Structure 1
Amino acid sequence: MGKLIYTDRKNKARVIVCEVVLALLTAVAVMSVITDLFNIKFNISNIASGEIAGGFACFVNSIADTLLINDGIVLKHLSGASENCELFLVLSTVVIAALVYGIIQSGKKWLIFVIPMLALLPMLCTSARQNVFGVLFLLVMTLVSFAYLKSKSSNLVPGIVQVTAIALILLVALGFPVISVFFEKADFASAVKGFTTRNVSNLYYGTAPLGNGELTGDKRNVQNDIALEVSMSNPQATYLRGYVGESYTSDRWSALPYATYKESRNLMFWLDNEDFNGLGQLGQADSLVNDTNTIDIQIEVKDANKKYAYLPYEYSGENESLLNWYDSYITNGNFGRMKSYEFKAYENATGSWTDTAGKLFTSSADEKISEYLKDESWFNEFVYENYTYLSTKEISLMQEYIGDRGDQREGHIEYSTAIKKVRDYLNQNFIYTQDPGLSQDAVMEDFFKNKKGYDTHFATAATFMFRYYGIPARYVEGYLVTPEDVKNAGEDGQMSISQQNVHAWVEIYIDGIGFVPIEVSPEYYDVMPQANLDTGFENSIVRSDFVPENSGGGASTNQVLQNNTSQEESSILQVIKIIVLILLIVLLLAILALLLRKLINSYRRFNFFKKGEPKKAVAAMFEYLETHGLSFDDRAVELGNKAAYSRQSISPEERDFMLFQVKSAKKADRKERLRWKRLK
């Protein structure tokens, strides 16, 4: 007999409208997160002029650009891309809304979290910056939809009140100093947010002994394994630059933010077409003023990190199969590892860069040198704008321990003076030790306070100091090919470079000739050949028209404000990412636990139905049919009563018949449910 269903059409219309609005708002929140994450602009006026296929290509290309700049993930661009993708975004929002509406209609509460989880997953796996309010909006809409389903479409008010209360408690809690400081601790953020990415990266690329800019290690723990096999046609001592730290936050170095790279793409493309080699600028400058030969170098990576190419400062040019990251470092792209590669380089110039700088500006009448200096002036401006920045926190640290940086209105202090100041300060006041026992919370503050550390701390402190003096500087990790290694090279010029040769140093930008390595760790003063600072090289040699106006004091006021703002946003975003990650993990574990429990119980139940003692099994099956409201015939009732109330035994055949009844009843019930859903 069928069931009578009473339908209040007016109430049903309200329910449909409510569900459609919920689905649309959730879809808008999802698209807001995605467009913010991948820096995709949305202008409502462009919808009429857009197209679906071209918009899809534009959408994919925007994602590819963001992943390329932030994480080194190389995706091919699609051809036929439009200038905008608004129409595609609108249609995608409608499709997502339809999916959410379908989930709401299904009544499966846990399914409502699937789409937001998929939308938030890229945020946790990429370094791209995300709008905090977009994430909060998505979380709130997901919780509202969940509350709606939980209330069985009858009354939204209790659910909305609950969600609002949760959101207010969360926001208020984050405002309390104790909680906010707890979330902002570097060790907590690193443990929660960075754990997965660091370990996956180490597993895939190999462990970076010095952490690739991560300064929270409590000791310098380096093995004696072979890191690199290096072959040179003319063996010579050299610095092999690998990881380059450009921006410092939360006790670690990282690359420049996406916005900076995006603004400079045209400049870097133009400089590349002009054959300006910012990555090997020192070698290029030296070849213009000296009779310099090139040598062939082959590197096979053994136990070293395979994410970055290890290249000398005299690198002569770019291998087109590799990816040059704005003349800072090189990777393979496409998730490739730098296992084995070869290139050409000019003869070593890091030990004579002072002579190179002097000759370059006294020979500038040469046409090639004049063209080079013109190109360098553009790159020079990019360098000063981005590598003299210090946060207010780091400036305060420098003022406390270094003191006044002098009048820099006419330009930064002279190079040799700055180098001597940095070396003397670190050499006279600090102890080099591989086990400094520094705090894991504020590493560099503890370094300046306790005055002990190893090369990563010395290099970071020197980078701060050079920037404080107005000189562009970057933090570098790589390997040293020492004179001792050259002495022990085989007949084919092959050298085995140990992990003991891994090193961190600071590189500073010398106007005209590019970045040069500066040794600031006392333990390494006599390891590598160093340029003679007493050869008459002076800052005044550099022509003032190649020095940007803002070079004297580091970044401009606007840039400092923008960077401070971005750091504050990054700190808030970090907290949000941690919260989202924890919620997703807890939710995923809860869902898995429920599914596992359900599967185990189902397996045990039907295993008992099939193999248990016949009388008990039939009684249990009859109870199962009754409690689940399943249909059964008179024979099943007879057997159930016989098993439950009679002293008569039950045969295995009767047990099998009852099991068949259970299976048939469940199958019929599924069909009936589907039929009623279609009728609704």
Structure 2
Amino acid sequence: MKNNHQNIKAFESILVFMFSLSLLFIAQNMINTQLHIWPAVAVSLFMGFFSYIIESKTLINKSRLYAVYGVLFLLILVLIFFVNPVKTGFLYFLNQILIYMGKCTGNYIHLFDVVGQSNLFLFILGFLTWFTGKIVFEIKSRSLLIILFIMFIITLGVGIELNLLAGGFYVLVLFFIYVWLDFFCESKREKVYFDGKAVGGWLLMASIVFMMTTATITYLVPPLNFERDKGLGKVKNAITTTYDRLRFGNNVLPEGDFSKMDKMQRTDETAIEVVMSDPQSMFLRGFVGSQYTSSGWETQPADIYYDHYGLFYWLHQDNFTPLKQLDQARRIVQGDNSEPINVKVNLKNACRKYAYAPYELISMEGKNQVQYKADETMLSKGAGGQKYYNFSTGNSIMKDYLQIAQTYLEEHSQNDTTYENDEAHYNQYVYDTCTALSDKDKLLLQSHFGEFETQANHAPYTGAKNKILSYLSQNITYQENPGKCPAGREFLQFILEDSASGYDVHYATAATLMFRYYGIPARYVEGYLVTLDDVKDKEGYSVIPLPEKNAHAWVEIYQDGLGWVPVEVTPSYLDKTEQPSDIVIAQKQEPNIISTSYQESNITQLESPEQQEEIKKREKDKRLLQIIISIVVASILLILLFLFARTIYRLYKHRKEKLAMFNDGDRKIAIRSLFIDTMNLLYYDGIPKMGGSMYKQSKNLSEKYGETYGEQYEKTLDNTQKAIFSDLKPEEREYNQVYEFMNNIRNTIIKNKSLYEKAVMFFKGI
């Protein structure tokens, strides 16, 4: 019994330490700094040994032991709040966690006023994480499993990329190991279902898994900067998409998801009804994709908005809103005081997630109905979004925006006014965040477009537009069923070199990256078009129905000084809305607007052969690292699978041996085995162990299961005692009575158990 008690305490100490270590790695990676947590690890390990020695040797009783832990915890709190170096480290640590939370959500959280940090707090952190693990492991096993599972989901769900899912992966490994040990170890009964050699084997196996995980996380994978796991991202996106569909209704547009771009499915059913005081064609912006990934377009990451919180705060203080910037710029340049156009929108079958609005937006009525997502789009508020909303807008600027932009740059850009200052700061943000292009995509586009001249920090707008439109019209075939991009294939390469076909979402994706190649900030946009045909001969305040076929994808580019403007790049849509004067469609001849001659003074420097070799080397190293990681993860999964298979085999073997004992030809042995199994069932179901005469249990059975069970129990006990203590051979009817009672008890207990509880009973061999 003593050895079993020590084994149990060894299990508990190891599990608490692993739980503590998982928390420490989560903490280390959350703050995203070069925080060396080994002092905290050492303290946590020391506490594990200390608790094992004290508790396994039973040097003091449990209540006194907890009193010692309580005093130690209070001492730690005193150090945190009253010892300045420790307090400084604690507040610094909290600040880093708040910063990480802000980066995950995009919301700024006020930080504590503290300068510097103190490594003394790391020792305290080791105590705190160990105490946390100790408290958690004092909870009943089922609650603990739930806590571990929830902790794993939260760790990954919020997007914490802890060096190959570090903290979350630790918790997952810990979860499986604890499930394994919990099936065989019950500390309250001080009973272990396997011998000391097996204990040592499983501890060794757990240590190997743990060390492999540690090696993978700590040494093989460099720290990442808030990069989300791709596999987890797909799961998260699937859940989010399902939730949005239930909340806001179905969206016929893919919201930038490449997996949904294989086929266009838009009907003639009315999606939106629009009423205008002065009907005009316009682009109604919905989803905006700023970040290009292997799986699709995504909105700007939350950590980008967090890092630029101060910029957007002051822009909004100055009433500079990127979603309304076009109207502000026009009024500055033209002094336009024309009456705004009042618009009412009814989202009949369109997705209610977005408040679709034009680029010339002046104001939204009912500010509590929409939420501005920084500089990208407007989201509807409310549980199901807004079906009806109103806004006011200026006249269409599409035809004239080039002249307005030129006038602004010539006459107003150097003025020291609020708008000019705000535009200059926002302009820098746009170029920093909306011109990103991977080395691979840059090389791909270079092979198709070659070199180009620059004007300021990008190619001339007109030349870039015509070059892109010419390429798309000559090399891409419009097709509404282009098929899915093969797994592992880059989407841009699939469009340009594999299928060479697609519909508006493909054109918009390719064009957005092409504009970025030319140094022009660009974003992928989805929304609805109010076409020239829709408003033709329409009177003011008449209802304009927009069918699902008016759902559309396009590109928006940032015009310096002016703001974001839409650019139509799908050839078959160029006549559906007003277009600026510089749009030239070259169907058969290359336009000579962009020179391909080399001029060292003003040509964007593309990668040299050495740089291209370096890019290829990095790609090779990355693939090698992914292979190593895959091998390590596969090894761990195989070990866990082996453990599970071995468990099933042992359970099968144990059950087979038990059935053999139940049917033993010697009825004395069979009755004794049946009675022991029955009592284990009763103890598992909450019947307490009692000292003295076992006949006292009949009262507990009568109260819990009914008087019949109490009577049967007494008869079963008579037959069992006769079999054990009498020299007479038990009769067959006595054996049958004990066997029948055991079956009745088992059936009664199982009938009231949940599926989870039945599984636990199975794995515990009860």
TM-score normalized with structure 1 length: 0.70
Q: Deviations over 1:344-402 (max 9, x none)?
A: 222221232112213323442997x9432222111111111111111011102101222
1:33 aligns with 2:33: no
C-alpha distance in 1 between matches for 2:382 and 2:160:
18
State which of 295, 318, 326 in structure 1 corresponds to 2:341: 295
C-alpha distance in 2 between matches for 1:231 and 1:506:
26
Residues 146 and 164 (structure 1), Cα distance of their counterparts in 2 relative to 1, 3 Å cut: same
Q: CA deviation at 1:451?
A: 1.5
State which of 474, 477, 486 in structure 2 corresponds to 1:431: 477
Residues 628 and 68 (structure 1), Cα distance of their counterparts in 2 relative to 1, 3 Å cut: closer
Paired amino acid for 1:221: Q
Matched ranges for 1:656-667 at <5 A: none
Tell me the equivalent position of 1:385.
432
State which of 658, 678, 683 in structure 2 corresponds to 1:625: 678
C-alpha distance in 1 between matches for 2:746 and 2:246:
53
1:23 aligns with 2:3: no
Matched ranges for 1:161-310 at <5 A: 161-163=207-209, 167=213, 194-216=237-259, 217-288=261-332, 289=334, 290-310=336-356
SS in 1 for 2:287: strand
Q: Deviations over 1:414-439 (max 9, x none)?
A: 11111111111111121111011242
Q: CA deviation at 1:343?
A: 2.4
1:395 aligns with 2:442: yes
Tell me the equivalent position of 1:340.
388
Contact 2:258–2:296 (Cα < 8 Å) also in 1: yes
What is the alpha-carbon root mean square deviation over aligned residues? Answer: 5.5
C-alpha distance in 2 between matches for 1:336 and 1:516:
30
Tell me the equivalent position of 1:465.
514
Equivalenced residue count is: 589
C-alpha distance in 1 between matches for 2:495 and 2:543:
38
Alignment gaps of 5+ in structure 1: 176-183, 536-549, 595-617, 665-680
State which of 337, 362, 371 in structure 2 corresponds to 1:323: 371
Tell me the equivalent position of 2:408.
360
Residues 313 and 327 (structure 1), Cα distance of their counterparts in 2 relative to 1, 3 Å cut: same
SS in 1 for 2:272: strand
SS in 2 for 1:504: strand
Residues 534 and 251 (structure 1), Cα distance of their counterparts in 2 relative to 1, 3 Å cut: closer
SS in 2 for 1:279: helix
Matched ranges for 1:96-175 at <5 A: 97-98=130-131, 100-101=133-134, 104=137, 108=141, 113-127=145-159, 129-132=161-164, 133-142=166-175, 154-155=199-200, 157-163=203-209, 167=213
Q: CA deviation at 1:101?
A: 3.3
Q: CA deviation at 1:22?
A: 4.0
Residues 365 and 239 (structure 1), Cα distance of their counterparts in 2 relative to 1, 3 Å cut: closer
1:65 aligns with 2:102: yes
TM-score normalized with structure 2 length: 0.63
Contact 1:218–1:435 (Cα < 8 Å) also in 2: yes
C-alpha distance in 1 between matches for 2:718 and 2:105:
71
Deviates more, 1:432-441 or 1:618-627: 618-627
Q: CA deviation at 1:169?
A: 12
Residues 167 and 276 (structure 1), Cα distance of their counterparts in 2 relative to 1, 3 Å cut: closer
1:311 aligns with 2:357: yes
Tell me the equivalent position of 2:87.
49
State which of 349, 355, 374 in structure 1 corresponds to 2:421: 374
More contact order relative to length (CA 8 Å, sep ≥ 6)? 1
Q: CA deviation at 1:296?
A: 2.3
Deviates more, 1:388-397 or 1:316-325: 316-325
Q: CA deviation at 1:281?
A: 1.4
C-alpha distance in 2 between matches for 1:228 and 1:263:
37
Paired amino acid for 1:125: G
Residues 99 and 123 (structure 1), Cα distance of their counterparts in 2 relative to 1, 3 Å cut: closer
Paired amino acid for 1:342: N
Matched ranges for 1:529-548 at <5 A: 529-533=578-582
Contact 1:509–1:515 (Cα < 8 Å) also in 2: yes
C-alpha distance in 2 between matches for 1:112 and 1:400:
57
